[in-house]
């Protein structure tokens, strides 16, 4: 029997299209049941129209269903792909505009920082409901999460819902190594690599071509190319000894060294508010897709190299492969906190998804990751214990926020964001505490 794959938040149409294009490229998955769910009727209809168009172009005949009722869409699912964004672009703009009035600079704001904290807190109530529904109507399903902040969400799902078949997926490791291979002039397919750490702040621990370590070549490039040195990732690489697995725009937000200093913002060419441009482009791309579907016009049908389709294919067919997954740390990285979310290689085949034990990270890398995980844990504690103080504690510990503001202003900022997000937060966290 063909598997059922439910897309929750299918109205994120462009991302849904890419994942479906990848799924439909596997002949073994022809006839798969694609169940689409969104709470926005127009976006759901657009997603369904786009999905049918992609299937026709690919020459496959899946079963399609679409429902505004989440439980109906989930019933009997074998895989659940979560791509929900609570509050959409309006909430994201709030995450940038309110802190900006306090002088807090952000570039992406979806993983850590004050923006990541509040994105998590407005996502957790939805995740609790999603977890309950999965437990009741498709308890054996694998939940493949793409929604950020990835590490906070996976930890919360583990502690609040008890679900065990949860893997957080992100393309940062794959595309980082892809870019490094191009930079040093070797084919990506011939590179051997291992990365580990936390989402958006993992580290390339091993990078080899034909048994030769590629790090000396990277160090030569960093020393000789002034433009490379003017990127946060290369600055961190030079000082910590290992290359981080996310863009400079992301990486700058998870440490206290860059965004709080105008000279560093200029030296490292950091685009403040960059994610707002991405949000605007995503909204425009959705509108283009909606119009194309309505007019029966052409749509791009391009693969994404994302991990979710690969995991589905491996679990259904037994084909072994390695992907990078975000999972709960149960001895996988021994010098990072147990129970936090770590990003490690995972072996996937017909028996399941099995994370790889890494051992200990180099101490300087673990030290940086531990601060990140401390913020995550406090945000999760705030939600699980319904304790608004822990929300403030998380902001106090957050590297970029703490580097930008004295503690009184951090409390005032949290109060303003609580007011701004209102009923998107769980009731116990909607209180203001003052400075």
- Assess contact for 167 and 136: CB atoms under 8 A: no
> Would the annotation count 346 as a binding residue?
no
Tell me how crowded residue 274 is: count the other CB atoms within 10 A of its CB: 16
CATH number at residue 146: 3.40.50.720
Q: Look at the chain and report how many structural domains it folds into.
A: 1
Structural domain for 48, as ranges: 4-168+297-301
Which of 103, 107, 403, 99 has the alpha carbon at shortest distance from 249? Answer: 107
The answer to the question of residue 92 being in a domain is yes
The answer to the question of residue 132 being in a domain is yes
Q: What is the mean pLDDT of residues 89-117?
A: 95
The answer to the question of residue 205 being in a domain is no
Alpha carbon distance 264, 251 (integer Å): 13
- The string of pLDDT tens digits covering residues 238-249 is 999 999 999 999
pLDDT at 323: 97
Find the range with the poorest average confidence among 299-303, 318-322, 364-368, 391-395: 299-303
> Would the annotation count 200 as a binding residue?
yes
Q: Which residues contact 235 (CB under 8 A, 6 or more apart)?
A: 229, 268
Tell me how crowded residue 290 is: count the other CB atoms within 10 A of its CB: 18
pLDDT at 1: 65
List the alpha helices (DSSP H) in 306-362.
307-317
The answer to the question of residue 153 being in a domain is yes
- Assess contact for 9 and 282: CB atoms under 8 A: no
Which of 171, 209, 261, 313 is an active site residue?
171
Has residue 23 got a pLDDT over 80? yes
Give residue 301's pLDDT band: very low, low, confident or very high (50, 70, 90). Answer: confident
Q: What percent of the chain has pLDDT over 90?
A: 84
Helix axes 113-137, 388-397, angle to 10 degrees: 130
Tell me how crowded residue 320 is: count the other CB atoms within 10 A of its CB: 11
- The string of pLDDT tens digits covering residues 239-297 is 999 999 999 999 999 999 999 999 999 999 999 998 889 888 888 888 888 888 888 87
- The string of pLDDT tens digits covering residues 404-425 is 999 999 999 999 999 999 899 9
Average pLDDT for the chain: 94
For residue 293, CA distances in Å to 18, 43, 63, 228, 362 come to 16, 11, 19, 42, 51
Q: What is the mean pLDDT of residues 304-319?
A: 95
The answer to the question of residue 337 being in a domain is no
The answer to the question of residue 262 being in a domain is no
- The string of pLDDT tens digits covering residues 138-147 is 999 999 999 9
Has residue 434 got a pLDDT over 80? no
Q: Is 171 a catalytic residue?
A: yes
pTM of the model: 0.96
The answer to the question of residue 413 being in a domain is no
Q: What is the mean pLDDT of residues 168-185?
A: 96
Has residue 397 got a pLDDT over 80? yes
The answer to the question of residue 209 being in a domain is no
Q: What is the mean pLDDT of residues 75-101?
A: 94
Neighbouring-strand partners of residue 167: 144
């Amino acid at each position: 029997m063909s598997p059922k794959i439910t897309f929750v938040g299918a109205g994120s149409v462009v991302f849904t299209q890419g994942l479906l294009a990848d799924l439909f490229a596997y002949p073994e998955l022809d006839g798969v049941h694609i169940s689409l769910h969104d709470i926005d009727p127009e976006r759901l209809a657009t997603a369904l129209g786009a999905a049918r168009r992609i299937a026709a172009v690919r020459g496959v005949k899946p079963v399609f269903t679409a429902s505004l009722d989440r439980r109906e869409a989930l019933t009997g699912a074998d895989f659940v792909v979560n791509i929900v964004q609570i509050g959409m672009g309006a909430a994201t703009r709030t995450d940038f505009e309110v802190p900006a009035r306090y002088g807090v600079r952000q570039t992406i704001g979806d993983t850590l920082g004050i923006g990541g904290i509040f994105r998590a807190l407005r996502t957790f109530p939805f995740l609790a409901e999603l977890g309950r529904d999965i437990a009741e109507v498709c308890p054996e399903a694998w939940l493949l999460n793409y929604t950020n902040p990835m590490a906070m969400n996976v930890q919360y799902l583990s502690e609040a819902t008890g679900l065990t078949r949860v893997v957080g997926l992100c393309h940062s490791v794959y595309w980082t190594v892809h870019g490094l291979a191009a930079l040093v002039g070797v084919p990506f397919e011939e590179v051997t690599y291992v990365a580990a750490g936390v989402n958006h702040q993992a580290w390339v621990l091993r990078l080899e071509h034909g048994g030769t370590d590629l790090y000396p070549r990277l160090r030569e490039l960093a020393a000789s190319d002034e433009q490379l040195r003017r990127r946060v990732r290369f600055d961190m690489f030079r000082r910590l000894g290992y290359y981080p697995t996310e863009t400079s725009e992301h990486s700058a937000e998870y440490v206290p060294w860059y965004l709080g200093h105008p000279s560093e913002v200029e030296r490292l060419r950091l685009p403040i508010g960059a994610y707002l441009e991405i949000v605007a482009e995503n909204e425009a791309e959705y509108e283009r897709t909606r119009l194309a579907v309505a007019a029966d016009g052409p749509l791009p049908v391009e693969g994404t190299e994302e991990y979710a389709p690969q995991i589905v294919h491996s679990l259904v067919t037994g084909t072994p492969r390695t992907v990078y997954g975000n999972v709960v740390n149960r001895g996988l990285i021994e010098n990072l906190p147990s129970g936090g979310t770590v990003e490690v290689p995972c072996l996937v085949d017909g028996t399941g998804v099995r994370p790889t034990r890494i051992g200990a990270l180099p101490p300087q890398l673990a030290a940086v990751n531990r601060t990140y995980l401390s913020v995550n844990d406090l945000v999760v504690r705030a939600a699980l214990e319904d304790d608004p103080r822990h929300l403030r504690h998380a902001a106090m510990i957050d590297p970029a926020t703490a580097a930008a503001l004295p503690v009184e202003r951090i409390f005032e900022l949290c109060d303003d964001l609580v007011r701004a997000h209102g009923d998107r937060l769980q009731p116990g966290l909607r209180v203001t505490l003052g400075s």
